[in-house]
Chain A
Amino acid sequence: MITRFSNKRIASILGVLPENDSLFDDEVDNYSFPAKQTMRLKKVMGFEKHSLSKPDTTVSDLALYGINHMLDNNWIKKDDIGAVVVVSLCPDHFVPHISNIIHGELGLSSDVFCMDIPQGCCGYLMGLFQSFMLIDHMTDKKVLLVNGDVLSHIVSHRDRNDFPLIGDAATITVVEQTEEENDIYFELNSDGTQREALIVPAGGFRTPANDETSEMKDQGDGNYRSLNNLHMDGTAIFNFVQTKVPEMIKSALARNALSVDDIDYYFFHQPNRFMLIKLAERIGIPEDKIPVNLVENYGNPSGCSIPLVMALNASEALMRDTYRCCLSAFGSGLAWGSMIMKIGRLNNIAIIRSNL
């Protein structure tokens, strides 16, 4: 679907990281591959370190740490919050929902709308989309959009194709109304026929987790994982992204009578350095307009990647001025989307470390 919004803005962005980083060099011995080959992969893919939460940390823990930071530092007041929208692949429980846990822990008023959306790498765009729709129905209230995932808990540490990529994080984005009649272009697409390209085979109601699904097995390519672990079909995802995303971006620019150069920043989901560089080449995006450095700093934290890459690379600029930005995400579903919007003069944008 393609649609447009106006009179909405992103007011603040906070990224919350776990306490600890893990270095790729320290993990090499977990993988049954020649060290030389693995070290070249490090350079090409951008594997350096990734932020991993403690085993008992949940998304609500990271989110509450961040929201309390925002409340303590007057980024937002409790009474300003009209809705809590949480996007995550990693629920604390099947029931209750993360948004309700946050609602209860913060002691929010009973008229605050709570909603969880189970989405992965497209989660920031999905969350913004829902937030923009909700904000139309609130007077003088703001939406707290929480993206969060603790993927390190469901990816095998002996799976070189998946584990070095991922990272844990949460982000909180404050969405509010503005009197400015800004033009926000939104496009979201899905292809459910390719849904198994990114999958956790067991643990839901189709195949409940049990001793058999928990068994770690050599997948025939030297990677060990169980059916309870997240798995990505790298070739299918790569081909999907390189086919769908460039044509979507080119079409979005054309629909808005913009050239590639008219966009100040391309804040894309951050799967890995190689994929992003190939995407930039295909679209013709200059290197200085598309940051590709999230994986080497924090790992790929799924739906948190776009707000984190904004905060990592452009926080000063986004506080100081306004820029025309193209956001794009792609991943589980399979789903892919883009948004073109002027973003800037934010009230606050930062990344903090938690003790989680």
Chain B
Amino acid sequence: MSDILEMLESLKPECDFTNCENYIEEGYLDSFDIVLLTSMLEDKYGIKIDALDILPENYSNVDAIASLVVKSGGTV
């Protein structure tokens, strides 16, 4: 979890990801941020995230992102 938070903070240093319920609805992450985060997760965990899983709801908070990593074969 802390690795994911570090990635988010490096992506958007100006955002406080620990005190946000929904990164998408709050405007913390847009579609290009999702592309970047996908690339960072794939590199970090050695996984391939299925294109059909690259949906806003799977990036809405740190738990959802961790679940996506696990679903894609990674270990958080």
Interface, chain A (partner B; CB < 8 A)? 34, 36-37, 40-41, 43-45, 160-161, 220-221, 233-235, 238-239, 242-243, 274, 278-279, 281-282
Contact at A234–B50, with CB atoms within 8 Å? no
Contact at A243–B52, with CB atoms within 8 Å? yes
In the complex, how many angstroms separate the beta carbon of A229 from the nearest chain B beta carbon?
Answer: 17
Contact at B32–A160, with CB atoms within 8 Å? yes
Q: Is B36 an interface residue (CB 8 A)?
A: yes
Point out the residue from B35, B48, B54, B55 that lies within 8 Å of A41, measured CB to CB: B35
Q: Is B20 an interface residue (CB 8 A)?
A: no
Main secondary structure of the interface of A (DSSP, over half): helix
Q: Which residue of B lies closest to A44 (CB)?
A: B39
Interface size on B, residues (CB 8 A): 21
Q: A274-B35, A278-B51, A279-B51 are in contact. List 17 more A-B contacts (CB 8 A).
A: A34-B13, A40-B36, A41-B32, A41-B36, A44-B35, A44-B36, A44-B39, A161-B30, A161-B31, A221-B27, A234-B31, A235-B34, A239-B55, A242-B52, A274-B38, A281-B48, A281-B51
Question: For residues 41 through 62 of chain B, which have their beta carbon under 8 Å from a beta carbon of chain A?
Answer: 48, 50-52, 54-56
Q: Is B70 an interface residue (CB 8 A)?
A: no
Chain A residues with Cβ below 8 Å from B12 are 37
17 example contacts (A-B, Cβ-Cβ < 8 A) are as follows A34-B13, A40-B40, A41-B35, A43-B39, A44-B39, A161-B32, A234-B30, A234-B31, A235-B31, A235-B56, A238-B51, A239-B54, A242-B51, A242-B54, A274-B38, A278-B51, A279-B51
Tell me the bound Cα distance from A238 to B55 in angstroms.
9
Name the residue among A36, A160, A242, A282 with the largest chain B CB count within 10 angstroms: A242
In the complex, how many angstroms separate the beta carbon of A186 from the nearest chain B beta carbon?
Answer: 25
Chain A residues with Cβ below 8 Å from B11 are 37
Tell me the bound Cα distance from A43 to B10 in angstroms.
16
Contact at A220–B27, with CB atoms within 8 Å? yes
Point out the residue from B39, B50, B52, B55 that lies within 8 Å of A274, measured CB to CB: B39
Q: Which residue of B lies closest to A278 (CB)?
A: B51
Name the residue among A160, A221, A282 with the largest chain B CB count within 10 angstroms: A221
Chain B residues with Cβ below 8 Å from A36 are 10
User: What 5 A-B pairs have minimum CB-CB distances, sorted nearest first?
Assistant: A234-B31, A242-B51, A278-B51, A235-B31, A44-B39
In the complex, how many angstroms separate the beta carbon of A30 from the nearest chain B beta carbon?
Answer: 15
In the complex, how many angstroms separate the beta carbon of A241 from the nearest chain B beta carbon?
Answer: 8
Tell me the bound Cα distance from A221 to B26 in angstroms.
11
In the complex, how many angstroms separate the beta carbon of A116 from the nearest chain B beta carbon?
Answer: 32
Q: Which residue of B lies closest to A235 (CB)?
A: B31
Tell me the bound Cα distance from A36 to B13 in angstroms.
11
In the complex, how many angstroms separate the beta carbon of B74 from the nearest chain A beta carbon?
Answer: 16
In the complex, how many angstroms separate the beta carbon of A349 from the nearest chain B beta carbon?
Answer: 31
Tell me the bound Cα distance from A235 to B34 in angstroms.
9
Contact at A45–B55, with CB atoms within 8 Å? no
In the complex, how many angstroms separate the beta carbon of B53 from the nearest chain A beta carbon?
Answer: 10
